[in-house]
Amino acid sequence: MNGELIDTLRELLPGLGVSLQLAGVSTLVGVTSGLLLALLSTHRSRWVSWPTIAVVEIGRGAPVLVVLLLVYFGLPSAGIVLDAMPAAWIGLSFTTAAYSSEILRASLLAVPDGQREAARALGLTRTDAFFSVILPQAARISLAPLLGFCIQMFQATSLAFALGIPELLSRAYDIGSITFQYLQVLVAAGVLYAAVTLPLIRLVARLERRTARSRAGAASAPLPPAPQQTGAS
C-alpha cells in the first residue's frame, strides 16, 4: 500500500505544479492589483472611490467558481476568447485582488497618524512618505492575513478543474477514473495539499504572534517626557 501511495504521489506531482503555478500568478497579480484598489478606494474623489468599492464588493461577493466560469464561458459572448489557463489566471487574480484590497486598506489605515505627521515634519513628500514610511509598516501588518488568504486561494485552484485544467484535483480524478482507486488517489492529493498548506499555516500563526507582541510593546511603551517650560525670571 505504501509503495502504491508513493507511486500515486509521483503521478500527482505534475498536477501540483500546475496548482502552484495558478496560485503563484494569481497571488502576484492579485495582491499588486489589490494594493492599487486599496489606494483608489480611499481616494478623496467619490467618482474614484465609489466605483472602486463597487468592484471590490462584487469580487468579494461572487463565488470563485462563478468568476472562473464567467471569464471562460461568458467572455466569448463579448468576442473575447481565452484559453483555459489565462482564464483561470484572470478569474483567480480578480478574486485575490478584491479580498487583498480590503486587507491592505485596513492595514494602511492601521498605521498611526503620528507616522504621517512625523514624515511631514521631516519634509518628505506624500509619495516619499508613503513608500518610505507608511507602506513598509502596512506591509508588516498585512503579511499574516494576506498569507492566510493566499492559502485559501491555493486550495481554490482546485476549482480550475471545471475549466479542464490539469491541476492537482483534475489529475487525481483522471488517475482515479483509470485505476478506480479513488480513495487512495484522493488521499494522496490531500497529502500534497497539506504538504503545501500546513507549513504556511504555521508561518501565519507565528507572524500573528509576532505582530501581536509588536503592537503590545508599542502600546506599553512609555511616552516621551513633555518639554518643560521655563518662565522668564
Show the CA angle centred on residue 91, arms to residues 89 and 92, nearest 5°: 65
% pLDDT > 90, the chain: 63
Please identify which residue in the block is written with the cell numbers 483608489.
40
Ramachandran region of residue 62, left (φ > 0), alpha (ψ -120 to 50) or beta? beta
| Structure confidence at residue 228 as a pLDDT band (50, 70, 90) | low
**Axis-axis angle for helices 2-41, 46-61 (nearest 10):** 160
* Residues contacting residue 20 through CB under 8 Å, at least 6 positions apart: 154, 196
Average pLDDT, stretch 77-97? 96
The matching CATH number, chosen from 1.10.10.10, 3.40.1410.10, 1.10.3720.10, 3.40.720.10, for 2-114+123-217 is 1.10.3720.10
**Axis-axis angle for helices 46-61, 84-110 (nearest 10):** 120
Ordered by start, the domain boundaries in the chain are: 2-114+123-217
**What pLDDT score was predicted for residue 215?**
65
3-state secondary structure of 188: helix
Q: How far apart are CA 206 and CA 106, in angstroms?
A: 20
3-state secondary structure of 166: coil
| Structure confidence at residue 207 as a pLDDT band (50, 70, 90) | confident
Q: Per-residue DSSP letters for 64-126?
A: HHHHHHIIIIIGGGGT----HHHHHHHHHHHHHHHHHHHHHHHHHHHS-HHHHHHHHHTT--H
